């Protein structure tokens, strides 16, 4: 069995990619309302901020900032994925390994995460999120895709909404990258 080692930084900012098991599916777009409800449920139970997001047909990308002192992003993803799956029929006959783990086979088992290190890393991952649907050939421009935080960000007159004091010395109320970077140094 493989050993997956994750870096847990309380109050850290993370980039995630979460995929469906069926890479040809458009389930996330068909059930975007349910997905949003599942994320809202997780946020209400275990708070986190969504700095940027895009939902594509078979996967999604998000940047989250966790509360100070909290590094448990896996429990949040577990709640989102399990709540979403609970409201979907199984895509086919489950394999024995899925039955043993109580899975329906809708999501890939794991997700990809990356700890955001600094302002340039955050900007690079925001750009990746905003350009994802263009690279996928779904739209000609980022603002033409309805399932993205680019619309929210544009209300702030730029590529990013204002964020808290832990990031690049800006004022606000949310500790973010400074705490994560100083713990790594």
Residues 6+ apart with CB under 8 A from 103: 85, 94, 109
Here the tokens at position 108 are 């890939």
Strand order in the sheet with 49-55: 49-55, 59-65, 13-19, 112-115
Rounded Cα gap, residues 148 and 62, in angstroms? 10
pTM above 0.75, yes or no: yes
Assign 103 a pLDDT band (cuts: 50, 70, 90): low
Structurally, what CATH architecture does the domain formed by 13-184 represent? 2-Layer Sandwich (3.30)
**Is 39 strand, coil or helix?**
helix
Tell whether the model's pLDDT for residue 176 goes beyond 80.
no
Structural contact between residues 57 and 132, judged by C-beta atoms closer than 8 angstroms: no
pLDDT at 120: 95
Residues 116-144: pLDDT tens digits? Answer: 999 999 999 999 999 999 998 999 988 88
Catalytic residue among 81, 147, 153, 179: 147
4 is catalytic: no
Domain ranges of the chain: 13-184
How would DSSP label each residue in 83-130? Answer: HHHHTS--SSPPPHHHHHTT--SSB-S--EEEE--SHHHHHHHHHHHH
3-state helix, strand, coil in the chain (%, to 5): 40, 15, 45
Residues 148-172: pLDDT tens digits? Answer: 988 776 554 554 443 433 333 233 3
For residue 22, the 8-state DSSP code is -
pLDDT at 182: 36
């Amino acid at each position: 069995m493989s050993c997956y080692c994750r870096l847990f930084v309380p109050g850290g900012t993370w980039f995630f990619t979460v995929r469906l098991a069926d890479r040809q599916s458009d389930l996330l777009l068909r059930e975007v309302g349910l997905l949003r409800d599942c994320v809202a449920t997780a946020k209400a139970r275990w708070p986190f901020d969504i700095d940027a997001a895009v939902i594509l047909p078979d996967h999604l990308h998000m940047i989250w900032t966790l509360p100070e002192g909290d590094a448990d992003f896996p429990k949040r993803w577990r709640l989102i994925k399990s709540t979403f799956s609970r409201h979907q029929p199984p895509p086919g006959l489950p394999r024995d390994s899925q039955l043993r783990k109580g899975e329906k086979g809708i999501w890939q088992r794991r997700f990809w995460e990356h700890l955001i290190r600094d302002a340039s890393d955050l900007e690079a991952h925001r750009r990746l999120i905003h350009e994802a649907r263009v690279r996928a050939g779904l739209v000609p421009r980022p603002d033409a895709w309805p399932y993205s935080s680019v619309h929210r960000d544009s209300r702030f007159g730029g590529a990013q909404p204002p964020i808290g004091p832990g990031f690049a010395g800006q004022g606000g109320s949310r500790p973010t990258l400074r705490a994560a970077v100083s713990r790594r140094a």
